[in-house]
C-alpha cells in the first residue's frame, strides 16, 4: 500500500462516526441527490452526483466496516480503495462540489451528503490530492493570516480610506468592546465599503465594537481544504484575539462559509465551547432592528431580490433575518424561485473560488443561478456574502447580465440609515 493511500485511509478512518455509518447503511442509490446538485443539472455528467463523490469513503466503509465487505476483501473478491481512486476523486470533490448542501435537503432517507463530502476531503487532503490553488491559499492563511495574502498593512490602509470617506474613527484593538468584528480577505480587497458601512451603522446604533490587529480573518481555508488541524489552528487565532481584547461577541462578516465555520464548527475543531457568542452581521443588524435601535429612512424602489449564501442560510439558519431587514428598505422586493433553504449556490463556495482550475466549470454551473434570475429578472440582487458577490459578479459578467446590480445588504442598510437614531 502506498504512503499516500495509507495517509488518506487513516484520515478517513478518523472521520468515521455514527452518522457516517448510518448514512452508508441507508443509501439506496436512488440518485435523487443528483437532481438537486448544480454540477449535475448544468453539466448532465452523472459523475457529479453528490453521493458518488463520497465513493472513496464508501469503499473504505464497505471493506472495513461491513460483513460482506470484510469477507470479500479478505478473499480478494472486492475492489479495494486505491490511490488511483483518491487521485480520480480530487476533481469531483474539490472542483465539482461547493458544499452547498442542497443535496442534503432532498435525500429521502435523510443523508447529509455534504457532511460526508467534507470527510472525504480530509482523506484527499491528507493524501496530498488537493488543488494547488487551495493548498497555496491554506499556506497563506497559516503564514500570513489571510488566504489572499491580505496583511495588517493592507487592512490599515483600507481602514484609513474608509475613515476618510465616512468621517468616522474605526476602532482597532479596543479592549472590552462588546463586539469583535472579523472580515474576509475578499471583503477587505473587493468591498472595503463594508467596513465603512459598519462604522456608520454601529455609530448610529451605539454598538461598541473593535477590530483586532492580531487576527482579523474570518474565513478558514482548513475547512475548505479538508484539513481539521489547520482549521483548528486558524480558529485558535480568533479565540486568542477575542480573549486578549476581552470581547463578549464576535461578528462574522458577510461571508457564509466564515459564519458556518466560526459559529458552528469552530467549537468542535478546538474541542470546547467558544468563550464568546458568534453572530452573523445580518443577525446582529436584525437584532438591532428588533430592539428599535436600527432605523432607516427612504427606500430603494428598484425590484430587488436576495441570493441566500448557502452556508449562512441552509447550513447556518440565517434565512428570515435578511428578509426582515430588506423589508425596511426594499418595498419592491421579489423572491427568486427556489430560495431560502433550497436556494441555488453561486457556484463558488466550499473553496471552489480559490481553485483556479475549477473556473470554467464554475462559470458553466452558474447557469442554475442564471435560470433563477431570468425567471424574475430583478434590477438588483442583494446578498450577504462577499464570496458569493464575487462569484455573482463573474457569472453576470460572463452571461452579459449587466442590467442586474449587485448589492451587499449591510451597505444597503447603511445607505438608508437614520444617523441620529443611536
Partner 1 sequence: MFAQLVDGIFWDIALWVFGIGVLWGILSIFRVRNKPDYSEPRGSGTAGAVGANLRRFLPRTELVSRTRLHIVAGYLFHLGLFALLFFAAPHVLFFEAQTGLGWTPMPYWAFIITAQLSFLGLMLLWIHRVMHPVTRLLSDLDDHLAAILTFIVMLTGCMALIGEFEGLRVLHRFTVELLMVYFPFSRLMHAFMFIPSRAFTGAWFGRRGVKA
**Contact positions toward partner 1, by CB under 8 A?**
16-23, 25-32, 34-36, 40-41, 46-47, 49, 51-52, 65-68, 104-112, 115, 263-268, 271-274, 277, 313-317, 319, 338, 341-342
Residue 417 is classified by DSSP as B
Name which of 70 and 416 has its Cβ closer to partner 1.
70
Shortest Cβ 190–partner 1 spacing (Å): 28
Rounded Cα gap, residues 384 and 305, in angstroms:
12
Name which of 65 and 244 has its Cβ closer to partner 1.
65
Rounded Cα gap, residues 95 and 358, in angstroms:
5
Q: What are phi and psi of 15, to 5 degrees?
A: -90, -10
Rounded Cα gap, residues 130 and 177, in angstroms:
39
- CA distances in angstroms from 265 to 26, 232, 259, 273, 346, listed in the order given: 25, 10, 9, 10, 22
Shortest Cβ 305–partner 1 spacing (Å): 16
Cβ pair 317, 391 in contact under 8 A: no
Name which of 19 and 169 has its Cβ closer to partner 1.
19
* Four-residue CA torsion sign, 228, 234, 235, 240: positive
Shortest Cβ 185–partner 1 spacing (Å): 24
Q: What are phi and psi of 79, to 5 degrees?
A: -85, 110
Name which of 27 and 161 has its Cβ closer to partner 1.
27
Shortest Cβ 332–partner 1 spacing (Å): 24
Name which of 61 and 333 has its Cβ closer to partner 1.
61
Shortest Cβ 150–partner 1 spacing (Å): 27
Task: Please state whether 292 falls in left (phi above 0), alpha (psi between -120 and 50) or beta.
Answer: left
Name which of 140 and 314 has its Cβ closer to partner 1.
314
Task: Please state whether 117 falls in left (phi above 0), alpha (psi between -120 and 50) or beta.
Answer: alpha
Shortest Cβ 376–partner 1 spacing (Å): 15
- CA distances in angstroms from 316 to 70, 72, 174, 304, 310, listed in the order given: 38, 41, 29, 23, 8
Shortest Cβ 99–partner 1 spacing (Å): 14
Name which of 6 and 22 has its Cβ closer to partner 1.
22
Amino acid at each position: 500500500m502506498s504512503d499516500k493511500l495509507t495517509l488518506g485511509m487513516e484520515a478517513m478512518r478518523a472521520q468515521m462516526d455514527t452518522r457516517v455509518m448510518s448514512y452508508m447503511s441507508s443509501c439506496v442509490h436512488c440518485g435523487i441527490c443528483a437532481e438537486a446538485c448544480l454540477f449535475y443539472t448544468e453539466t448532465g455528467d452523472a459523475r457529479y452526483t453528490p453521493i458518488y463523490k463520497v465513493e472513496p469513503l464508501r469503499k473504505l466503509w464497505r471493506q472495513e466496516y461491513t460483513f460482506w465487505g470484510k469477507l470479500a476483501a479478505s478473499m480478494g473478491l472486492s475492489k479495494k480503495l486505491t490511490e488511483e481512486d483518491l487521485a480520480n476523486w480530487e476533481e469531483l470533490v474539490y472542483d465539482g462540489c461547493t458544499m452547498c448542501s442542497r443535496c442534503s435537503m432532498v435525500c429521502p432517507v435523510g443523508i447529509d451528503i455534504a457532511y460526508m463530502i467534507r470527510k472525504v476531503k480530509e482523506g484527499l487532503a491528507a493524501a496530498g490530492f488537493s488543488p494547488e490553488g487551495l493548498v497555496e491559499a491554506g499556506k497563506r492563511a497559516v503564514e500570513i493570516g489571510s488566504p489572499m495574502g491580505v496583511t495588517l498593512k493592507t487592512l490599515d490602509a483600507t481602514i484609513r480610506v474608509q475613515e476618510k470617506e465616512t468621517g468616522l474613527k474605526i476602532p482597532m484593538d479596543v479592549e472590552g468592546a462588546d463586539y469583535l468584528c472579523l472580515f474576509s480577505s475578499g471583503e477587505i480587497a473587493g468591498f472595503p465599503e463594508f467596513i465603512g458601512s459598519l462604522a456608520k451603522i454601529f455609530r448610529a446604533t451605539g454598538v461598541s465594537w473593535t477590530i483586532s490587529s492580531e487576527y482579523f480573518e474570518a474565513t478558514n481555508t482548513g475547512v475548505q481544504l479538508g484539513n481539521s488541524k489547520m482549521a483548528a489552528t486558524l480558529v485558535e487565532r480568533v479565540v486568542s484575539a477575542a480573549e486578549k481584547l476581552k470581547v463578549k461577541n464576535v461578528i462574522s462578516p458577510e461571508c457564509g462559509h466564515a459564519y458556518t465555520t466560526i459559529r458552528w464548527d469552530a467549537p468542535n475543531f478546538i474541542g470546547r465551547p467558544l468563550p464568546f457568542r458568534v453572530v452573523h452581521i445580518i443577525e446582529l443588524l436584525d437584532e438591532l432592528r428588533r430592539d428599535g435601535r436600527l432605523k432607516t429612512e427612504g427606500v430603494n424602489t428598484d425590484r430587488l431580490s436576495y441570493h441566500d449564501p448557502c452556508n449562512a442560510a441552509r447550513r447556518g439558519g440565517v434565512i428570515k433575518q435578511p428578509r426582515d431587514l430588506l423589508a425596511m428598505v426594499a418595498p419592491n422586493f421579489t423572491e427568486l424561485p427556489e430560495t431560502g433553504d433550497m436556494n441555488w449556490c453561486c457556484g463558488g463556495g466550499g473553496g471552489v473560488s480559490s481553485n483556479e482550475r475549477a473556473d470554467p466549470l464554475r462559470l458553466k454551473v452558474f447557469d442554475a443561478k442564471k435560470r433563477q434570475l431570468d425567471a424574475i429578472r430583478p434590477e438588483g440582487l442583494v446578498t450577504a456574502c462577499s464570496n458569493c458577490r464575487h462569484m455573482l459578479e463573474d457569472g453576470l459578467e460572463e452571461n452579459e447580465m449587466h442590467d442586474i446590480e449587485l448589492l451587499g445588504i449591510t451597505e444597503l442598510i447603511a445607505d438608508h440609515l437614520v444617523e441620529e437614531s443611536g
